Structure formats: structure tokens, C-alpha cells
């Protein structure tokens, strides 16, 4: 038996794709199951240095039309067709009978190609698990809705009825995808990197300066609320001298490092290695994650999962799945409106009562670690259907 991770989105050794894929292989190996990863075809020399990873999938390419009415349909057709072609090549490489496959992750632009390949298997694998993506720009509830929803519904319809299990990482996402798929979508244990293999006690949440540390991590996209940070940081620092802001992020065109640094935050630009990243999260008193709906209405965030694992209290924005989890268990942190004034008020509340918030978050972390983690997900996968 072998665990094979199919991840066309993996193209570099930094970030959650690489961390979670390799940690999952390590967890499977600990259960006596060898594994391998097939990723995006890349010239990245660091990725090519890893023997357990084979660059395999072609560049998805550009759309062939400039007609704005046809771009989404063109991309859907192009990407699904190329994926289907590459998966057929993969069948010739794998020993399908002994392989359990995990596809991570299947968006509306890959689900139909993946399903077509599964429907046409000559020699099926032991089982195929399909991990659905973490966030969306649309809502599934309430009928057919957007074109993307129709693409998802069509993609689900292409799969055979057996040897396939759909997985997701939030309860809300599992419910809504089950509705659109017309079949069960299972909420899987969240694979929190290598944390499940070596859980560490949370460290004291005081930054090196002695001030209370507010941390934000992630790509600086508008969907993650990074545009709100400079205003929030300036307002808080104008009123308090006992707090420091640290922002670790991978830059995008939405918000620049200079904007955030000018507001008074310490900026850590780019990815950190896993030990440094985890130490940074453990050093925080507060994780400020103002991720926005609709992008995070049903999906969740790896940073949120890591904060929960380490028992760090979180501030999240209303209308997101993170806020829903906080409302279900108030020990996790606070949920508030995604505007600077409300975020400042939530920060003031948490900083004033930081000892109680950290104590509650650490208390909630015990149950979270028991029910999530890389090892638990690996056990689910190697156990098959």
C-alpha cells in the first residue's frame, strides 16, 4: 500500500501546500505506509531536490478568448481538459491497485477533469480522496446561483459512486458542499502541519520587547483584510504603548509592505521555515485575522487552525466560518465587524483581558488537538473508505 498525494498547486517549498503535503507523508510513514507527491511541473531547484516529490503536471496555461462573457467557461474547459490528460499519464506511472490517492485540492476548474478520469478508470486505485478548496467567492446555499456553482455541480456529477470520498476542512463547508454534490462531503481532521506529531506547550505570549504582541499572518490579499491593517495599527498605537504589531506575509499587489510598516508594525516579508513560523505564532498574545466574507464565508484558514492548535486567541471578522466557530466556542476568541473601529475595540477588549483570553484559548486547544492534526488525517486516508 502507498499514499500518493496529487497536488498540481504545489510549485515551491514554501507555504502551506508544501508543509501540509510533506507532513502528511511523514505521518503516513509513521503508520508504516510509504508515500509520494506529484506536483506542478516546475524548474524550482529546491523542489526538485526532494526525492519524495515528482514535478509532473503541466502549466495550466492562459485562456484562449478575450471575450469577458466567455473567459470563465474557457478557463473551465481548458484546465479540466489538461488535468484529465495529465491524470491519464499518471495512471501509467502509478501502481493503482496498491495506491490510496489524495487529490489536493479540487476547485471548480479541476473537479470535472478529475471526475472524468475516475469514471474511466481501467484499473482503479484502492481509494481516491478529493480534498475540496478552503475558501470561495460565492455562496452555495439557495439554488443554482453562479456559474462557478454550476461548474462544481457538473464536476461532482462526473464521479463514479464508489472508491471516491470527498473531504473538506470546515463543518459549514461540508454541509454546503454536500447539498450541491448530492452526496456526503466529509469534514476531515485539519492537517495542522507537523504539529500533530510534536505538539508543543504554548509559550508565554509576550513579545521580545515586553509588549503584548498582535500577530497577523497570510498573503496580503484584500480577501484577508490586509487593507484594514494600517488604519487599525495606527489607531491602537496612538492610544497604547504596551502593544506591538507583527505582520508576516507574502506580498501581493493588494497591500504593500511599505504601507503596513509605515503604520508602525514590524513586517516579516516572505515565508519562514516551519520551526520559526510556529515559534512566531506561539509568541503572540492575539492572532488578528480579519479575513473577509464572502471569500471565507464557508472556508477556513490554516493560520486559524494553527492558532487554535497552539492555544492563541483569535479575532476574526463576522460572516466568516472562523467567526462561526468562535460563536460556537467563545474560548477561541472574539468575532467582530470587519471595519477598523470594531477591530480596534475587539483588540482593546482582548488586550485588557489577555490573561483570561489566553487561558481560555489554551483550554480549548486540548480538545482541538485531540480531534485534528496530520496524524489523524493520515489515519483516515490509509484506512480507506
- Asked whether residue 255 falls in the same domain as residue 336, the answer is yes
Residue % of the chain over a pLDDT of 90: 59
Q: Check whether 294 has a pLDDT greater than 80.
A: no
- Asked whether 165 and 356 are in contact (CB, 8 A), the reply is no
> Does 206 reside within a domain?
no
> Does 278 reside within a domain?
yes
229: which residues sit within 8 A by CB, 6+ positions away?
216, 245, 247, 255, 260, 263, 265, 288, 290
Residue-wise pLDDT for 155-200, tens only, equals 999 999 999 999 998 888 888 889 889 999 999 999 886 664 554 4
In the chain, the number of structural domains is: 2
Residue 48 or residue 92, greater confidence? 92
- Asked whether residue 191 falls in the same domain as residue 259, the answer is no
- Between 73-77, 148-152, 252-256, the lowest mean confidence (pLDDT) is in 252-256
- Asked whether residue 14 falls in the same domain as residue 162, the answer is yes
Nearest CA to 49 out of 16, 93, 13 is that of 13
Q: Check whether 98 has a pLDDT greater than 50.
A: yes
Task: Determine the average pLDDT of the residues in 89-112.
Answer: 93
- Asked whether residue 270 falls in the same domain as residue 189, the answer is no
**50 pLDDT tier (thresholds 50, 70, 90):** confident
Range of the domain at 76: 2-196+372-382
Q: Interior CA angle at 377 toward 374 and 381, to 5°?
A: 135
- Asked whether residue 234 falls in the same domain as residue 289, the answer is yes
**134 pLDDT tier (thresholds 50, 70, 90):** low
Q: What is the pLDDT of residue 204?
A: 46
Per DSSP, helices labelled H in 138-256 are 147-157, 171-181, 229-239
**120 pLDDT tier (thresholds 50, 70, 90):** very high
- Asked whether residue 362 falls in the same domain as residue 378, the answer is no
CA–CA dist 214, 36 (Å, integer): 38
> Does 203 reside within a domain?
no
Nearest CA to 116 out of 146, 79, 157 is that of 157
**363 pLDDT tier (thresholds 50, 70, 90):** very high
C-alpha cell at 231: 488604519
> Does 136 reside within a domain?
yes
- Asked whether residue 186 falls in the same domain as residue 219, the answer is no
Which of left, alpha, beta for 269 (phi over 0: left; psi -120 to 50: alpha)?
beta
**145 pLDDT tier (thresholds 50, 70, 90):** low
Give me the CATH number covering residue 287: 3.40.50.2000
> Does 245 reside within a domain?
yes
Cis before 148? omega within 30:
no
- Asked whether residue 253 falls in the same domain as residue 337, the answer is yes
- Asked whether residue 354 falls in the same domain as residue 378, the answer is no
- Asked whether residue 6 falls in the same domain as residue 108, the answer is yes
Q: Check whether 100 has a pLDDT greater than 60.
A: yes
- Asked whether residue 140 falls in the same domain as residue 219, the answer is no
Task: Determine the average pLDDT of the residues in 125-151.
Answer: 72
> Does 328 reside within a domain?
yes
- Between 28-42, 123-137, 188-202, 306-320, the lowest mean confidence (pLDDT) is in 188-202
3-state secondary structure the chain: CEEEEEECCCCCCCCHHHHHHHHHHHHHHHCCCCEEEEEECCCCHHHHCCCCEEEEECCCCCCCCCCCCCHHHHHHHHHHHHHHHHHHHHHHHCCHHHEEEEEECCCCCCHHHHHHHHHCCCCCCCEEEEECCCCCCCCCCCCCCCHHHHHHHHHHHCCCCCCEEEEECCHHHHHHHHHHHCCCEEECCCCCCCCCCCCCCCCCCECCCCCEEEEEEEECCHHHCHHHHHHHHHHHHHHCCCEEEEEEEECCCCCCHHHHHHCCCEEEECCCCHHHHHHHHHCCCEEEECCCCCCCCCCCCHHHHHHHHHCCCEEEECCCHHHHHHHHCHHHEEEECCCHHHHHHHHHHHHHCHHHHHHHHHHHHHHHHHHCCHHHHHHHHHCCC
Q: Check whether 144 has a pLDDT greater than 50.
A: no
CA–CA dist 349, 128 (Å, integer): 46
> Does 202 reside within a domain?
no
Nearest CA to 37 out of 19, 29, 46, 25 is that of 25
C-alpha cell at 84: 484529465
- Asked whether residue 186 falls in the same domain as residue 253, the answer is no
Q: What is the pLDDT of residue 348?
A: 96
Residue 337 or residue 42, greater confidence? 337
Residue 298 DSSP symbol: S
Q: Check whether 271 has a pLDDT greater than 60.
A: yes
> Does 204 reside within a domain?
no
Amino acid at each position: 500500500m502507498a499514499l500518493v498525494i496529487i497536488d498540481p498547486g504545489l510549485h515551491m517549498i514554501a507555504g502551506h501546500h508544501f508543509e501540509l503535503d510533506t507532513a502528511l507523508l511523514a505521518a503516513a510513514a509513521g503508520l508504516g505506509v510509504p508515500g509520494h507527491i506529484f506536483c506542478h511541473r516546475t524548474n524550482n531547484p529546491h523542489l526538485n531536490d526532494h526525492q519524495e516529490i515528482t514535478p509532473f503536471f503541466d502549466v495550466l496555461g492562459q485562456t484562449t478568448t478575450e471575450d469577458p462573457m466567455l473567459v470563465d467557461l474557457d478557463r473551465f474547459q481548458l484546465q479540466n481538459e489538461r488535468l484529465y490528460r495529465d491524470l491519464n499519464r499518471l495512471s501509467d506511472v502509478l501502481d493503482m491497485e496498491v495506491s490510496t490517492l489524495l487529490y489536493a485540492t479540487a476547485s471548480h476548474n479541476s473537479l470535472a477533469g478529475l471526475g472524468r478520469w475516475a469514471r474511466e478508470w481501467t484499473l482503479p486505485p484502492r481509494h481516491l480522496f478529493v480534498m475540496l478548496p478552503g475558501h470561495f467567492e460565492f455562496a452555495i446555499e439557495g439554488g443554482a446561483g453562479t456559474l462557478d456553482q454550476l461548474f462544481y455541480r457538473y464536476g461532482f456529477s462526473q464521479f463514479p459512486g464508489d472508491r471516491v470520498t470527498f473531504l473538506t476542512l470546515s463543518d459549514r463547508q461540508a454541509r454546503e458542499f454536500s447539498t450541491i454534490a448530492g452526496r456526503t462531503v466529509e469534514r476531515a481532521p485539519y492537517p495542522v502541519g507537523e504539529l500533530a506529531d510534536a505538539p508543543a506547550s504554548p509559550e508565554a505570549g509576550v513579545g521580545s520587547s515586553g509588549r503584548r504582541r498582535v500577530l497577523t499572518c497570510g498573503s496580503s490579499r484584500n480577501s484577508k483584510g490586509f487593507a484594514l491593517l494600517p488604519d487599525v495599527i495606527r489607531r491602537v498605537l496612538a492610544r497604547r504603548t504596551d502593544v506591538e504589531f507583527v505582520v508576516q506575509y507574502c506580498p501581493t499587489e493588494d497591500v504593500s509592505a511599505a504601507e503596513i510598516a509605515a503604520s508602525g508594525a514590524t513586517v516579516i516579508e516572505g515565508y519562514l521555515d516551519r520551526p520559526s513560523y510556529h515559534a512566531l505564532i506561539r509568541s503572540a498574545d492575539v492572532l488578528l485575522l480579519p479575513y473577509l466574507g464572502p471569500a471565507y464565508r464557508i472556508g477556513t484558514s490554516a493560520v486559524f487552525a494553527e492558532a487554535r492548535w497552539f492555544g492563541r486567541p483569535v479575532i476574526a471578522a463576522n460572516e466568516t466560518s472562523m467567526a462561526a466557530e468562535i460563536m460556537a466556542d467563545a474560548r477561541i476568541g472574539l468575532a467582530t465587524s470587519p471595519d477598523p473601529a470594531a477591530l480596534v475595540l475587539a483588540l482593546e477588549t482582548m488586550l485588557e483581558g489577555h490573561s483570561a483570553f489566553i487561558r481560555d484559548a489554551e483550554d480549548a486547544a486540548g480538545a482541538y488537538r485531540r480531534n485534528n492534526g496530520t496524524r489523524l488525517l493520515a489515519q483516515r486516508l490509509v484506512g480507506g473508505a
